[in-house]
Amino acid sequence: MSATAFHLEARQLSAYYGANHAVRNVSLGIPRHAVTAIIGPSGCGKSTFLRCLNRLHELTMLGSATGQVLLDGEDVYAPGVDPVQLRRRIGMVFQHANPFPTMTIFGNVAAGLRVGPRRSRAEVEAAVERALKGAALWDEVHDRLGASPLALSGGQQQRLCIARAIAPEPEVLLLDEPTSALDPVATQAIEELVQRLKERFTVVIVTHNMQQAARVSDHTAFFYMGDLIETNVTRTIFTNPSQERTEAYVTGRFG
Amino acid sequence: MTINRRRLMSRIMTSVVIASAALAVLPLIAILVDLILRGASSIDLAFFVENPVAAGQSGGGVANAIVGTLIVVGVAGSIGLPVGIGAGVYLAEYGRGRLGFIVRFVADVLNGTPSIVIGIFVWTWMVRPMGHFSALAGGVALAVLMLPMVARTTEEMVRLVPNSLREAALALGYPRWRTTMVVMVRSAWPGILTGGLVAVARVAGETAPLLFTALGNLNFRVNLMQPMQTLSLQIYVYATGPFEEWHRLAWGAALVLMGMVLVLGITARLVTRKRFTA
C-alpha cells in the first residue's frame, strides 16, 4: 500500500505543551471515506493528536508540534502551507457545542462560507440548506433560520455545529468527543449522522466511549500516555487486539 | 444557647450590610434631592434656549454650555472610544508579550493620573503651540482621560468571551484578525459599549481638564477652534461668583448635567440588559 492511499497520514508526529511531550512520535494513516475512531483514557493525547491534524494545536498557549501530517500526500506542516487555508479543507466539531451566539442559525451555518472564495447569496442559501440536511437538522429548524442558536437543545446545537463544519465542503471532518456532553437520544442521532457523513467526508472521531467507537467506526486507534499503542480495523481491536494494554482497555480493566 | 448566639450574630451582620448598602446609595439620593430642590425652579424653556446675560442682570440660560458640553464630549468620544476600544482589543487578543505588559501598565498609571494634570499636559502640547484655547483641546483632554478606562473595560469584556468561540472560528478557516473582529469583538460588543458609555458619562462631568483647554465662553460657539463653554465650567464659574442670580443658574446647570449623566448611565444599563434577554 503506498503512502497516498491514506487520505490523511501522520508521520512521526509529536505534540508538546511547553516541555510536556503530549503526543509521542505517532504514525497513523486515516483511510478515505471511512470513520476512524481514536480511543484511550483521559489525558492520553487523543484530542491533542486530533488538533494537530488541522494545525489548531499550535495556537494553544505553549503548544507546538513536530513531524509530518500528509493530506493527500502533501505535508501540512511544510513551510509555505497556510494553516488558515488548510483549516478550510479540514472541518472540526468540538466537545461542547459552540455556536456563535451573536449569529442566527442561518448565520452560523453560513459562517464558514464567508471566508474563502466569494459565493453568491443563492449559493450560500443552497449550501446552508444542504449542510443542515446533511446534519439531519433541516426539518427541525427550516422554519426558524433567523432564530438564535441558543434556542436549540444541546443535541441540536451540536448538529448545528456539524452543519457549520460541513457547509464549506471540507474533505476531512474531525470530531472531538462530539457526544460527551449529550444525552443518549441526542448521542444516537449524532452517531447515525456520522455513519452517513462518511459517504461524503473522511471522518476522524475522538471518543472515550468504547461502545461508541465500536458502533460507528471502521478503524480504531488506541492511544495511551501519548503513544499510539495499536491500530487496526475496529472489529479486530475489540475482539482480537494484539497488544495486552489494548485488550485491558477495551475490556474495561482500566481507564 | 449557641443557636441563639448564631441567630443574633446573623441578625447583626445582616443589619450591618444593609446599613452599608443604604449608606452607599444615600449620597446619590441626597445629591439628586438637593439638586432638584434648588435647581428645578431655575429650569424653564429660556434656560435651555437662551445664553447667559451680563453679570448682575437677571434671566438668561445656559444654551451655550449645553451645546458646548455635547460638542466637547462628542469630540472626546470620537477620539477616545475608537482608540480606547482598539487598544483594549489589542491587549486582550495580542497583548501577551512585553509590549502588552507595558501598554497595560501605562494605562493603569494614566487611569490614576489626576485629571488636572492631563489638563496641564494638553495645555502644554496643544493650547500653547496653537496659541489659543479651544474646544478641540478640551475634547482631546477628555479623550486622554477616557482612554485607559475604555481600553481596560474593553480588554476585560473581550477576555470574557469563551475561547471555544475563537476555536470554532479558527477551525472554520477564519484568519486571526477576522476571528477577532467577527467573533470576539462582536460577542463582547454590548459590554464594550456599556464601558464606553460609562466612560463618556464619567468625563462629561469633568471640570479640571477643561480649565486650561476649553477655557469657557460666555457666548454661543460651535467652532472647535475657539474657546467653548461647558456645563461643568459654567457651574464652576457661577458657583464661585458673587451674584445670587449666578448661584441660581449654577444649581440649574448642575441639575441638567446630572440629568445628562444619568441618561447615559441608564442607557448603558439597558444596553447590557439587552444582551442577556436577547
Asked if A168's CB is within 8 angstroms of B173's CB, the reply is yes
Asked if A88's CB is within 8 angstroms of B173's CB, the reply is yes
Asked if A56's CB is within 8 angstroms of B167's CB, the reply is yes
What does the pLDDT read at residue B134?
96
What mean pLDDT comes out for the span A4-23?
92
Q: How many CB atoms sit inside 10 A of residue B256's CB? A: 23
Whether residue B128 lies within 8 A of chain A, CB to CB, comes out as: no
Whether residue B44 lies within 8 A of chain A, CB to CB, comes out as: no
Whether residue B169 lies within 8 A of chain A, CB to CB, comes out as: yes
The three cell numbers of residue B278 are: 436577547
Whether residue A85 lies within 8 A of chain B, CB to CB, comes out as: yes
Nearest to B248 by CA among B49, B28, B50, B60: B60
φ, ψ (nearest 5 deg) of residue B105: -65, -45
What mean pLDDT comes out for the span B66-83?
97
Asked if A85's CB is within 8 angstroms of B173's CB, the reply is yes
What does the pLDDT read at residue B278?
38
- Complex ipTM: 0.93
Which contacts qualify for A50-54: CB closer than 8 Å, 24 or more apart? Answer: A50/A92, A50/A174, A50/A176, A50/A204, A50/A206, A51/A15, A51/A176, A52/A10, A52/A13, A52/A15, A52/A23, A53/A8, A53/A10, A53/A90, A53/A172, A53/A174, A53/A204, A54/A83, A54/A86, A54/A87, A54/A90, A54/A92, A54/A174, A54/B171
Lowest mean pLDDT among A114-123, A148-157, A196-205, B262-271: B262-271
What mean pLDDT comes out for the span B136-147?
97
Answer whether residue A119 shows pLDDT above 80.
yes
Answer whether residue B277 shows pLDDT above 60.
no
Distance from CA of A193 to the nearest CA of B (A): 20
pLDDT by residue (tens digit) across B168-227? Answer: 999 999 999 999 999 999 999 999 999 999 999 999 999 999 999 999 988 899 999 999
Asked if B187's CB is within 8 angstroms of A111's CB, the reply is no
Mean pLDDT, chain B, rounded, equals 92
3-state secondary structure of A197: helix
Distance from CA of B129 to the nearest CA of A (A): 47
- The label of the residue with cell 463544519 reads A165
Whether residue B187 lies within 8 A of chain A, CB to CB, comes out as: yes
Asked if A164's CB is within 8 angstroms of B168's CB, the reply is yes
Write out chain A residues lying below 8 Å of B182, CB-based: 114
- Local confidence band at A54 (pLDDT 50, 70, 90 cut-offs): very high
What mean pLDDT comes out for the span B66-74?
96
Answer whether residue A3 shows pLDDT above 60.
no
Nearest to A154 by CA among A217, A90, A216, A94: A94
Nearest to A173 by CA among A188, A190, A157: A190
Asked if A98's CB is within 8 angstroms of B162's CB, the reply is yes
Within 158-197 of A, beta carbons closer than 8 Å to B belong to 161, 164-165, 168
Helix axes B231-240, B244-277, angle to 10 degrees: 150
What mean pLDDT comes out for the span A61-81?
95
What does the pLDDT read at residue A254?
76
Q: How many CB atoms sit inside 10 A of residue A137's CB? A: 24
Whether residue A157 lies within 8 A of chain B, CB to CB, comes out as: no
Mean pLDDT, chain A, rounded, equals 94
Asked if B175's CB is within 8 angstroms of A116's CB, the reply is no
- Local confidence band at A123 (pLDDT 50, 70, 90 cut-offs): very high
CB pairs under 8 A between A and B: 61
- Local confidence band at A4 (pLDDT 50, 70, 90 cut-offs): low
Answer whether residue A193 shows pLDDT above 90.
yes
What does the pLDDT read at residue A1?
45
Answer whether residue A92 shows pLDDT above 90.
yes
HSE-up (13 A, CA, CB side) for residue B208: 10
- Local confidence band at B95 (pLDDT 50, 70, 90 cut-offs): confident
- Local confidence band at B54 (pLDDT 50, 70, 90 cut-offs): confident
